[in-house]
């Protein structure tokens, strides 16, 4: 049986760690050629090496998604190497948070630059390539914070709601060219980011990070947090042939937390 993504070209932003890392490796394990884009060269190199271990062509590109010229150079390198882009997964993201009245302007501008402008730029650069091909799939990583919210998270929630807005509009615009655009909204997923969030939010509630994570796990129907591989599996499904009639959606992968 042919692998699902045999010879397809997949670009993953934020590929160095967490969900992006698991996603890059998942696509490689299913036959894709993978370009790993990240600001962290050391960890990103490890992801590309782990992807290449599946016998596919994979490479790492150091890229700060806040920089339009960095992203242009990275996408150009992908086209020069492989001549096409079948799948874009925009996973690069950061979390910052704190009381509403204490959000410093530079912190607000930085999270907008990474989570929103950075993701928009990735979508903008992939779109013309996919339009030319008449086919493609874009998966943008939002969050449950883009659908619901909690205190001290205005800036993060704003960016993740914005990702859903970009996704819906892009789906309408690119659909006629055979391109699907969806968002994934993970619940708490065991990555470096969630450890940082747990310490920050836990402290603000008088808990340790571990206590906060335990509380979040108990809030889900499944009584546990997600592994990055479980998010990567849904991302791969959205990019697969089985999801060709699925577009403009923001899929909750939250272990049933929305029910509680
Ligand atoms: N972990 C969770 O619980 C959770 C929940 C919902 C949504 N998300 C989202 O999933 C995505 C991945 O997060 P994660 O949990 O894997 O965290 P992570 O910190 O492990 O991964 C984020 C990656 O983005 C990269 N990155 C950060 N700033 C960048 C920049 N300016 N340019 C290029 N790369 C940059 C980091 O180096 C890192 O490799 C993020 O968009 C995040 O908001 C995570």
pLDDT at 73: 98
Distance 247 CA to ligand 1 centre (A): 23
Beta bridge partners of 140: 90, 183
Q: How far apart are CA 129 and CA 104, in angstroms?
A: 38
Distance 19 CA to ligand 1 centre (A): 7
**Is the CB of residue 146 below 6 angstroms from any atom belonging to ligand 1?**
no
- Do the beta carbons of residue 199 and residue 213 sit within 8 Å? no
**Is the CB of residue 97 below 6 angstroms from any atom belonging to ligand 1?**
no
Q: What is the pLDDT along the chain (260 residues), one digit of tens a residue?
A: 789 999 999 999 999 999 999 999 999 999 999 999 999 999 999 999 999 999 999 999 999 999 999 999 999 999 999 999 999 999 999 999 999 999 999 999 999 999 999 999 999 999 999 999 999 999 999 999 999 988 889 999 999 999 999 999 999 999 999 999 999 999 999 999 999 899 988 888 899 999 999 999 999 999 999 999 999 999 999 999 999 999 999 999 999 997 76
pLDDT at 138: 99
pLDDT at 259: 75
- Do the beta carbons of residue 36 and residue 12 sit within 8 Å? yes
Sequence spans of domains, the chain:
9-187+227-252, 189-225
pLDDT at 37: 99
Q: How far apart are CA 206 and CA 209, in angstroms?
A: 10
pLDDT at 154: 95
pLDDT at 204: 84
pLDDT at 173: 98
**Is the CB of residue 16 below 6 angstroms from any atom belonging to ligand 1?**
yes
Vertex 145 angle, CA 225 and 96, to 5°: 95
Please give the CATH superfamily to which domain 9-187+227-252 belongs: NAD(P)-binding Rossmann-like Domain (3.40.50.720)
**Is the CB of residue 19 below 6 angstroms from any atom belonging to ligand 1?**
yes
Q: How far apart are CA 70 and CA 17, in angstroms?
A: 19
**DSSP at 110:** H
């Amino acid at each position: 049986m042919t692998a699902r993504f045999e010879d397809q070209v997949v670009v993953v932003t934020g590929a160095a760690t967490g969900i992006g890392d698991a996603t890059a490796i998942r696509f490689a394990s299913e036959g894709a050629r993978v370009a790993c884009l990240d600001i962290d060269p050391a960890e990103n190199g490890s992801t590309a090496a782990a992807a290449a271990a599946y016998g596919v062509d994979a490479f790492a590109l150091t890229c700060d998604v806040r920089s339009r010229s960095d992203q242009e150079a990275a996408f150009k390198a992908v086209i020069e190497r492989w001549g096409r882009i079948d799948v874009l997964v925009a996973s690069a993201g950061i979390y910052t948070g704190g009381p509403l009245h204490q959000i410093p302007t530079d912190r607000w501008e930085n999270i907008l630059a990474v989570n929103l402008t950075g993701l928009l730029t990735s979508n903008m650069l992939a779109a013309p390539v996919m339009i030319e091909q008449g086919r493609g799939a874009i998966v943008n990583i939002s969050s449950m914070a883009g659908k619901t919210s909690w205190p001290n998270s205005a800036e993060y929630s704003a960016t993740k709601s914005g990702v859903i807005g970009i996704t819906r509009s892009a789906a309408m615009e690119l659909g006629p060219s055979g391109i699907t655009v969806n968002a994934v909204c993970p619940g708490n997923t065991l990555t470096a980011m969630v450890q940082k969030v747990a310490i920050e939010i836990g402290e603000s509630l008088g808990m340790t990070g571990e206590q906060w994570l335990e509380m979040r796990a108990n809030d889900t129907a499944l009584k546990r947090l997600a592994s990055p591989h479980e998010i990567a599996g849904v991302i791969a499904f959205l990019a697969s042939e089985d999801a060709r009639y699925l577009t403009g959606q923001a899929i909750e992968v939250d272990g049933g937390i929305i029910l509680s």
